[in-house]
Amino acid sequence: METLDVALGDRSYPILVGAGLLARAGELLADHVGRDVVLVTNTTVGPLYLQALRDALGERRYAVHELPDGEQHKSLTQVAAIVDTAVRAGFSRDATFVALGGGVVGDMAGFAAAIFMRGVGCVQIPTTLLAQVDSSVGGKTGVNHELGKNLIGAFHQPRCVLIDTQTLDTLPEREFSAGMAEVIKHGAIVDIDYFERLERDIDALMRRDPKALTEAIVHSCRIKAAVVAEDERERGRRAILNFGHTFGHAIEACTAYSRWLHGEAVGLGMQMAAEMSGLDAMSVDRLRNLLTRAGLPSRPGALSAKDMLDAMGHDKKVSAGAITLILLDALGDARVVRDFDQERLHKVLNDWAS
């Protein structure tokens, strides 16, 4: 087992990563979970791992809340239902919310923990690669609004994140690849050594080798933690984590959030952002090759350049009307750019639209 501490003053917490940790949850979470536990999961993950988690946590008072599976259920209504479960169980300020599932479950359970009794403890047990390397660090919780994603939420740091790499064994291929997009992103934005290690280990990772997975998850979380520690409330530097996201969100919006998984769209967005960056052709190729070997798409399908541009203007990361892009000076070296070449943007969008 590897342990990584996310340093955020009195909101610091450990991330535990390894194979078979779910069975040791009772011992590993002893300091973080009290007598009263709200177990939040969904209809897909619950049947796979909920009983094992309860067995490991042992004798406590449980209130189980099983959410419907899918991003379309990530709503304030569903969060209110989770809070309702906690209230009806008679739980109070010393209750702990435990999220068992992917990013949607973690976002909703974390937000419910943030607003129940004005904030109680939360433990995250992410079971998708994307959630493990992305939601584990940053403390973002929340839900969608019918007019936009993640418009409602809170920053609420967990007490502990427990990552059992074995839970990835049941993750569908496409979702695993979508998580790999974020892993590759971490190398691309700040760490060329890590990027090269991923180029070397990509086959082992795609076989879901436990050792390679543990290493990559820990390293990705460490990178994200370092960026977030500099900028917990997302006012500046943290934006480099959005590499590929402005283009990616636009692709998702232009395909009605149905054709591509979020990670797949981000993978495509990273390739667009790399071209927009004016990187040398070899670097662009290396990024594309690694993404392809990770099972990610290299073409977005039919898109209109104008629709893409409109969608980019509506991205949540847009501040006061200006589009912000994360561009690479080189592989492993990203920066936030507000003043970029508009013509180049049009050219990239046209290239990718055709």
**Which residues participate in catalysis according to the annotation?**
118, 140, 182, 224, 234, 238, 242, 245, 249, 262
Q: β-strand 36-42 against 140-145: which pairing, if any?
A: unpaired
Alpha-carbon distances of 265 from 223, 225, 243, 351, rounded to whole Å: 21, 23, 12, 16
Q: Are 56 and 22 in contact (CB under 8 A)?
A: yes
Closer residue to its own copies, CB minimum distance, 76 or 309? 76
Q: Is 245 in the site for its own copies (CB under 8 A)?
A: no
- Looking at residue 268, its amino acid is L
Among 42-50, 56-64, 311-319, 334-342, which window interacts with its own copies (CB under 8 A)? Answer: 311-319
Which member of 200, 211, 316, 338 binds its own copies (CB under 8 A)?
316
Per-residue contact flags (x/-) with its own copies for residues 318 to 337, judged by CB under 8 A: xxx-----------------
Q: Is 87 in the site for its own copies (CB under 8 A)?
A: yes
Nearest distance, CB of residue 142 and its own copies, angstroms: 6
Among 123-131, 144-152, 183-191, 271-279, which window interacts with its own copies (CB under 8 A)? Answer: 144-152
Q: Is 83 in the site for its own copies (CB under 8 A)?
A: yes
Closer residue to its own copies, CB minimum distance, 50 or 83? 83
* Cα distance between residue 63 and residue 84, in whole Å: 10
Q: β-strand 121-126 against 96-101: which pairing, if any?
A: parallel
Which member of 147, 282, 302, 322 binds its own copies (CB under 8 A)?
147
Q: Are 21 and 162 in contact (CB under 8 A)?
A: yes
Which member of 47, 51, 145, 280 binds its own copies (CB under 8 A)?
145
Per-residue contact flags (x/-) with its own copies for residues 195 to 234, judged by CB under 8 A: --------------------------------------x-
Closer residue to its own copies, CB minimum distance, 51 or 92? 92
Q: Is 92 in the site for its own copies (CB under 8 A)?
A: yes
Closer residue to its own copies, CB minimum distance, 145 or 338? 145
- Applying the rule CB under 8 A, the residues between 282 and 301 that interact with its own copies are none
Q: Hey, how many other C-beta atoms are within 10 angstroms of the C-beta on 145?
A: 13
Q: Is 151 in the site for its own copies (CB under 8 A)?
A: yes
Max distance between CA atoms of the chain, in angstroms, equals: 63
* Cα distance between residue 310 and residue 61, in whole Å: 50
Q: Which two tokens stand for residue 10?
A: 């009195």
Size of the site for its own copies (CB under 8 A): 32
Rg (C-alpha) for the chain, rounded Å, is: 20
* Cα distance between residue 82 and residue 59, in whole Å: 22
Q: Which two tokens stand for residue 318?
A: 């847009």
* Cα distance between residue 132 and residue 127, in whole Å: 7
First-last CA distance in the chain? 47
Q: Is 61 in the site for its own copies (CB under 8 A)?
A: no
Which member of 54, 74, 140, 219 binds its own copies (CB under 8 A)?
140
Alpha-carbon distances of 344 from 151, 347, 348, 351, rounded to whole Å: 30, 5, 6, 10
* Cα distance between residue 147 and residue 135, in whole Å: 22
Which member of 8, 152, 204, 353 binds its own copies (CB under 8 A)?
152
Residues at the interface with its own copies (CB under 8 A): 76, 80, 83-84, 87-88, 92-94, 114-119, 140-142, 145, 147-148, 150-155, 233, 316, 318-320
